């Protein structure tokens, strides 16, 4: 980051001396006011719940321009990456900063492929869960448990450990997600197969069984790959910030990523695709397209507590570029599977159209986010709704690990320790039990 000529001055109405604060410039995006010395200079903190105006870190990985609806990974627009590159190329880009050339791609793919199996003992750990456990509950446990199985890559101060744990996490997440699914449906686990692509291998581990050959459908494989690419990173969102904060204590990468998985589970974050599809199914049961108007009225009524899931975003105040790509993939998948008249897709299009014309949504700059269409695609592929967030976690793992490794390599990295505005009781004395 570069120091700007511009400086900020903070003055107080009570006559306390004003303070001058340095301003830094990034390569693009808003400048930041450096408040690190504010407490030492004034005895005051800043107050910013939800980090509405606070940059918690500098980062060179992902950039979002929410007003333009632009998403760049290492400078490359998401549209170009989703169209011209596959997920493993995107992983290489996020982790190492550059798109791989042919030799680098082959080497990276080989490294990931050679780490897709998980320790056989993990099966027994998984078998301890109830069959009806939510896949995200299982994933939180399994990812945390990786640190118990891969001791030789848990030292975050060692660059080799960081690299091998990144490869292991990227390679093993599809295996673990597929195992969680197979366990829930009572089918045998399917081992990875090295001659398949990352997405193709995942599909096979999810849907193959020992009784027949499984042939990967290239349209579905491409759709799966695109889902992974679109979810690979999204700068300092809640789960990524969780991974950074957790990792800032020096904990091992598997534990930090498990914290990210737990955070992603929430319906305001990764759980939104599950919530969006459940919402579409509920409207369909109520009467489908004919009931869209009534549903939108409910969303606009603040007392109803109903939200249009898959709409709105903290950063995008314009169309989420991933939603456009996902809508395209949705059409491709439905056509391939002969589902072009899918009622939920029609319902989603109608809901989007009405919402985009409605003042409530226009004024608040609420647009579809990536989750609005991703649920329909996954459902068409045959993925049960309860697995959606686990697949999101699989895809986001590379972003989490890239951000974690970036933080550890940052000379300004410190343990994360937010401060507070205390509003509780002032000091008081404990009374004997009989007198309370
Ligand atoms: N439906 C109805 N109203 C909404 C929605 C929605 N989906 N999203 C925001 N609003 C309204 C809010 O009620 C608020 O209205 P007000 O100004 O009258 O009080 C206004 O729009 C601003 O919204 P905030 O909640 O302040 O925006 P914030 O940035 O805090 O929240 C969030 C963003 C959590 C994503 C929100 O839009 C939401 O809950 N959306 C639905 C869940 C969802 O799809 N999440 C996925 C996010 S993408 C991802 O994680 C991959």
| Mean pLDDT of the region 200-208 | 98
pLDDT at 63 over 90: yes
Pocket test for ligand 1, best of 312, 367, 374, 392 (most atoms within 8 A of CB): 312
Sign, CA torsion 125/126/129/131 = negative
* Structure confidence at residue 170 (pLDDT): 98
Strands (E), 11-157: 19-25, 32-33, 62-65, 70-73, 76-77
Residues in the chain: 436
DSSP state of 208: -
- For the chain, the C-alpha Rg in angstroms (whole number) is 24
Q: Using the mean position of ligand 1's atoms as its centre, give its distance from the Cα of residue 251 in Å.
A: 32
pLDDT at 430 over 90: yes
Cα–Cα distances in Å, from 167 out to 107, 257, 291, 298, 396?
12, 13, 47, 46, 13
Find the catalytic residue in 225, 233, 320, 371: 371
By the 8 A CB rule, do 60 and 74 touch?
yes
21 Cβ partners below 8 Å, 6+ apart? Answer: 7, 8, 9, 10, 33, 34, 35, 38
Task: Report the percent of the chain where pLDDT is more than 90.
Answer: 84
pLDDT at 218 over 90: yes
Please tell me the distance from the alpha carbon of residue 308 to that of residue 275, in angstroms, as a whole number: 9
Q: Using the mean position of ligand 1's atoms as its centre, give its distance from the Cα of residue 308 in Å.
A: 8
Please tell me the distance from the alpha carbon of residue 120 to that of residue 184, in angstroms, as a whole number: 18
Strand order in the sheet with 76-77: 62-65, 70-73, 76-77
Sign, CA torsion 183/186/188/191 = negative
**Residue 173: CB atoms within 10 Å:** 28
In the numeric block, which tokens belong to residue 405?
Answer: 């490794």
Instruction: Read off the pLDDT of residues 342-388 as tens digits, 9 standing for 90 and up.
Output: 898 889 888 888 888 999 999 998 988 888 889 889 999 999 999 99
User: Within its chain, how far is the Cα of 215 from the centroid?
Assistant: 29
Find the catalytic residue in 231, 234, 313, 320: 313
pLDDT band at 153 (very low <50, low <70, confident <90, very high): confident
Please tell me the distance from the alpha carbon of residue 143 to that of residue 261, in angstroms, as a whole number: 8
Instruction: Read off the pLDDT of residues 6-44 as tens digits, 9 standing for 90 and up.
Output: 999 999 999 999 999 999 999 999 999 999 999 999 999
Strands (E), 202-267: none
* Structure confidence at residue 356 (pLDDT): 87
Q: Using the mean position of ligand 1's atoms as its centre, give its distance from the Cα of residue 257 in Å.
A: 25
Residue/partner pairs of 379-384 with CB below 8 Å, 24 or more apart: 379/277, 379/344, 380/330, 380/333, 380/334, 380/337, 380/339, 380/342, 381/203, 381/220, 381/223, 381/224, 381/333, 382/207, 383/206, 384/181
Phi/psi region, residue 214 (left: phi>0; alpha: psi -120 to 50; beta: rest), is: beta
Please tell me the distance from the alpha carbon of residue 424 to that of residue 427, in angstroms, as a whole number: 9
* Structure confidence at residue 275 (pLDDT): 86
Angle between helices 198-207 and 87-96 in degrees, nearest 10: 120
The residue whose CA has the least distance to atom 8 of ligand 1 is 312
If one compares 371 and 144, the residue with the highest pLDDT of the two is: 144
The three-state secondary structure class of 73 is strand
Please give the number of the atom of ligand 1 that sits closest to the Cα of 276: 44
* Structure confidence at residue 255 (pLDDT): 96
Q: Can you name the residues that pair with 21 across neighbouring β-strands?
A: 8
* Structure confidence at residue 340 (pLDDT): 83
Among 283, 280, 282, 272, smallest CA distance to 371 is for: 272
pLDDT at 300 over 90: yes
* Structure confidence at residue 71 (pLDDT): 97
Please tell me the distance from the alpha carbon of residue 93 to that of residue 176, in angstroms, as a whole number: 24
Q: Using the mean position of ligand 1's atoms as its centre, give its distance from the Cα of residue 312 in Å.
A: 5
Give the residues surrounding ligand 1 with Cβ less than 6 Å away.
268-270, 272, 299, 307-314, 364, 366, 369-371
Concerning whether 371 is annotated as a catalytic residue, the answer is yes
By the 8 A CB rule, do 396 and 239 touch?
yes
pLDDT at 194 over 90: yes
pLDDT band at 57 (very low <50, low <70, confident <90, very high): very high
By the 8 A CB rule, do 78 and 231 touch?
no
The residue whose CA has the least distance to atom 41 of ligand 1 is 309
Cα–Cα distances in Å, from 173 out to 50, 142, 176, 236, 394?
29, 9, 5, 21, 5
By the 8 A CB rule, do 390 and 177 touch?
yes
pLDDT band at 210 (very low <50, low <70, confident <90, very high): very high
pLDDT band at 156 (very low <50, low <70, confident <90, very high): confident
The residue whose CA has the least distance to atom 37 of ligand 1 is 312
Instruction: Read off the pLDDT of residues 265-296 as tens digits, 9 standing for 90 and up.
Output: 998 888 888 888 899 999 999 999 999 999 99
pLDDT band at 120 (very low <50, low <70, confident <90, very high): very high
pLDDT at 315 over 90: no
For residues 202-212, one letter each, b for 16 or more C-beta atoms within 10 angstroms of the residue's C-beta and e for the rest, the string is bbbbbbbeeee
Q: Using the mean position of ligand 1's atoms as its centre, give its distance from the Cα of residue 313 in Å.
A: 6
Please tell me the distance from the alpha carbon of residue 133 to that of residue 356, in angstroms, as a whole number: 37
Please give the number of the atom of ligand 1 that sits closest to the Cα of 314: 29
Please tell me the distance from the alpha carbon of residue 339 to that of residue 330, in angstroms, as a whole number: 10
């Amino acid at each position: 980051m570069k120091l700007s000529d511009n400086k900020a001055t903070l003055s107080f109405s009570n006559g306390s001396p004003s303070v001058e604060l340095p301003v830094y410039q990034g390569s693009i995006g808003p400048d930041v006011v450096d408040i690190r010395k504010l407490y030492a200079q004034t005895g005051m903190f800043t107050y910013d719940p939800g980090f509405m105006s606070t940059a918690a870190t500098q980062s060179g990985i992902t950039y979002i321009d929410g007003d333009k609806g632009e998403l760049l990974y290492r400078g490359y627009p998401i549209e170009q990456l989703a169209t011209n590159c596959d997920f493993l190329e995107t992983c290489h880009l996020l982790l190492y900063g550059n798109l791989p050339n042919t030799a680098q791609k082959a080497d990276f793919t080989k490294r990931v492929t050679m780490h897709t199996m998980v320790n056989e003992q993990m099966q027994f750990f998984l078998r301890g869960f109830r069959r009806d456990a939510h896949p995200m509950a299982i994933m939180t446990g399994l990812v945390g448990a990786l640190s118990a199985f891969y001791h030789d890559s848990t030292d975050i101060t060692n660059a080799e450990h960081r690299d091998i744990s990144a490869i292991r996490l990227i390679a093993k997440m599809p295996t673990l997600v597929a195992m969680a699914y197979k366990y829930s449906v009572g089918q045998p686990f399917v081992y990875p197969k090295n001659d398949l692509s990352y997405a193709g291998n995942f599909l096979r581990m999810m849907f193959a069984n020992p009784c027949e050959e499984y042939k990967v459908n290239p349209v579905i494989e491409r759709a799966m790959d695109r889902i992974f690419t679109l979810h690979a990173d999204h700068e300092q969102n809640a789960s990524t910030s969780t991974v950074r904060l957790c990792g800032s204590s020096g904990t091992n990468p598997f534990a930090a990523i498990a914290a990210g998985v737990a955070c992603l589970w929430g319906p305001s974050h990764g759980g939104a695709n599950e919530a969006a599809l459940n919402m579409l199914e509920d409207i369909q049961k109520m009467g489908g397209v004919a009931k869209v108007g009534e549903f939108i009225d409910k969303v606009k009524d603040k007392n109803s507590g109903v939200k249009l899931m898959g709409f709105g975003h903290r950063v995008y105040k314009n169309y989420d570029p991933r939603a456009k790509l996902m809508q395209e993939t949705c059409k491709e998948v439905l056509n391939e599977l002969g589902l072009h008249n899918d009622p939920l897709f029609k319902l989603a299009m109608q809901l989007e159209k009405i919402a985009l014309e409605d003042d409530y949504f226009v004024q608040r700059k609420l647009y579809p986010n990536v989750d609005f269409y991703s649920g329909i695609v996954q459902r068409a592929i045959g993925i049960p709704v309860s697995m959606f967030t686990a697949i999101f976690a699989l895809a986001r793992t590379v972003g989490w690990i890239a951000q974690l490794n970036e933080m550890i390599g940052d000379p300004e990295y410190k343990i994360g320790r937010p401060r507070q505005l205390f509003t509780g009781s002032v000091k008081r004395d404990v009374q004997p039990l009989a007198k309370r």
